[in-house]
């Protein structure tokens, strides 16, 4: 059994994927690992480029899908053949700059109650990205939708669904309710107990839903800044796709785990949030306003 199985879902990110793989090979020392690339029918020559690397990375496995199956389903394909003690879901638009994987495995070995962990994600300019938050219950969604959690200290009172990246929040080690799927380190025992990602989620909110089930099963979710990686972000999608995908994902999350009356309030909050952003962005950022006009039809 390898120490770590690294699963990377690929979709038209050839150059970033090659950079990611090169950084894994360069920086990962002191652990045994395998890399499983699952390609969701890329049309940019990703797989041809990866096949040329196969002799350079001896522990590289490829799964080539004929269709885009989505993030959850593709990761599940990798998980099913993974042999590692730990499973890392790693975005193709990430890059290691130090021996982050060995550091994170060592950290997990010392924190046996943590089922899923993530490290610090940074933008290419070195600034810190938001990396997870707290479950989107109705009070948190109200603060998020109405932009009240933009007021300093408000989100700290109840825990913000999306804590702000420009605060010191992500510079300290802490327990969270969920972490983003860009770097999603899972203990093997968690998968054995909780199962796979929910494939009803195509893209967005699937990692949050999985964390929901993991915490319900008694494991902790943690964030630690003991190491960091670069995450370019948004390489396989658009801003509108992100917003629409999150709306769809939240509706599905509430359909699966919340009572009907809360689903109705969720839709109301999503409507309020979209209308408020349309008003704010119409003058300052009209392109963004149009995205939220489109979001009204997704609610």
Tens digit of each residue's pLDDT (9 = 90 or more) over 141-151? 999 999 998 88
C-alpha–C-alpha distance, residues 9 and 38, integer Å: 5
Sequence spans of domains, the chain: 4-124+169-235, 131-164, 242-296
DSSP code per residue over 3-64 = SEEEEEEESS-HHHHHHHHHHHHHH--SS-EEEEEEEE--SSSHHHHHHTTTTTSTTEEEEE
Tens digit of each residue's pLDDT (9 = 90 or more) over 259-291? 999 999 999 999 999 999 999 999 888 999 999
Please work out, in degrees rounded to the nearest 5, the angle formed at the alpha carbon of residue 230 by the alpha carbons of 108 and 46: 105
For residue 67 the two structure tokens come to: 């269709």
pLDDT value at residue 237? 60
Contact 275, 147 (CB under 8 A): no
Alpha helices by DSSP H, listed for the chain, are 14-27, 46-51, 71-81, 100-110, 138-145, 154-158, 188-194, 206-216, 239-257, 260-284, 286-296
Per the DSSP assignment, residues forming a β-bridge with 37 are 8, 62
- Point out the residues of the chain with pLDDT beneath 50: none
Contact 229, 100 (CB under 8 A): yes
Q: Quick check: helix, strand or coil at residue 133?
A: strand
pLDDT value at residue 166? 61
- pTM summary value: 0.94
For residue 112 the two structure tokens come to: 């046996």
C-alpha–C-alpha distance, residues 196 and 211, integer Å: 11
User: H or E stretch including 90?
Assistant: strand 86-90
Contact 236, 43 (CB under 8 A): no
Q: Is the dihedral of CA 42, 47, 50, 54 positive or negative?
A: positive
For residue 162 the two structure tokens come to: 């999306």
Specify the CATH number of the domain 4-124+169-235.
3.90.550.10
């Amino acid at each position: 059994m390898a120490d770590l199985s690294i699963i990377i879902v690929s979709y038209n990110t050839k150059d970033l994927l090659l950079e990611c793989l090169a950084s894994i090979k360069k920086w990962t020392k002191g652990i045994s690992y395998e890399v499983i690339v699952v390609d969701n029918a890329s049309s940019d020559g990703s797989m041809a480029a990866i096949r040329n690397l196969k002799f350079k990375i001896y522990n590289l496995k490829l799964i080539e899908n004929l269709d885009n199956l989505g993030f959850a389903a593709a990761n599940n394909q990798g998980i099913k053949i993974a042999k590692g003690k730990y499973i890392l879901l790693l975005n193709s638009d990430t890059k290691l700059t130090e021996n982050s994987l060995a550091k994170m495995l060592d950290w997990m070995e010392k924190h046996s109650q943590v089922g899923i962990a993530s490290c610090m994600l940074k933008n290419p300019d070195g600034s810190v990205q938001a990396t997870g938050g707290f479950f989107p219950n109705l009070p948190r969604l109200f603060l998020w939708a109405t932009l009240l959690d933009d007021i300093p200290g408000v989100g700290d009172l109840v825990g913000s669904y999306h804590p702000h990246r420009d605060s010191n929040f992500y510079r300290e080690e802490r327990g969270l309710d969920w972490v983003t799927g860009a770097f999603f380190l899972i203990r093997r025992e968690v998968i054995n107990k909780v199962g796979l990602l929910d494939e009803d989620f195509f893209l967005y909110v699937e990692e949050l839903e999985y964390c929901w089930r993991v915490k319900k099963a008694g494991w902790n979710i943690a964030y630690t800044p003991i190491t960091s990686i670069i995450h370019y972000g948004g390489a396989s999608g658009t801003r509108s796709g992100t917003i629409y995908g999150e709306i769809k994902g939240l509706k599905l999350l509430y359909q699966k785990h919340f009572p009907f009356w809360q689903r109705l309030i969720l839709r109301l909050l999503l409507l309020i949030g979209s209308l408020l952003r349309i008003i704010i962005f119409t003058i300052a950022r009209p392109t963004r306003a149009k995205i939220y006009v489109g979001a009204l039809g997704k609610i």
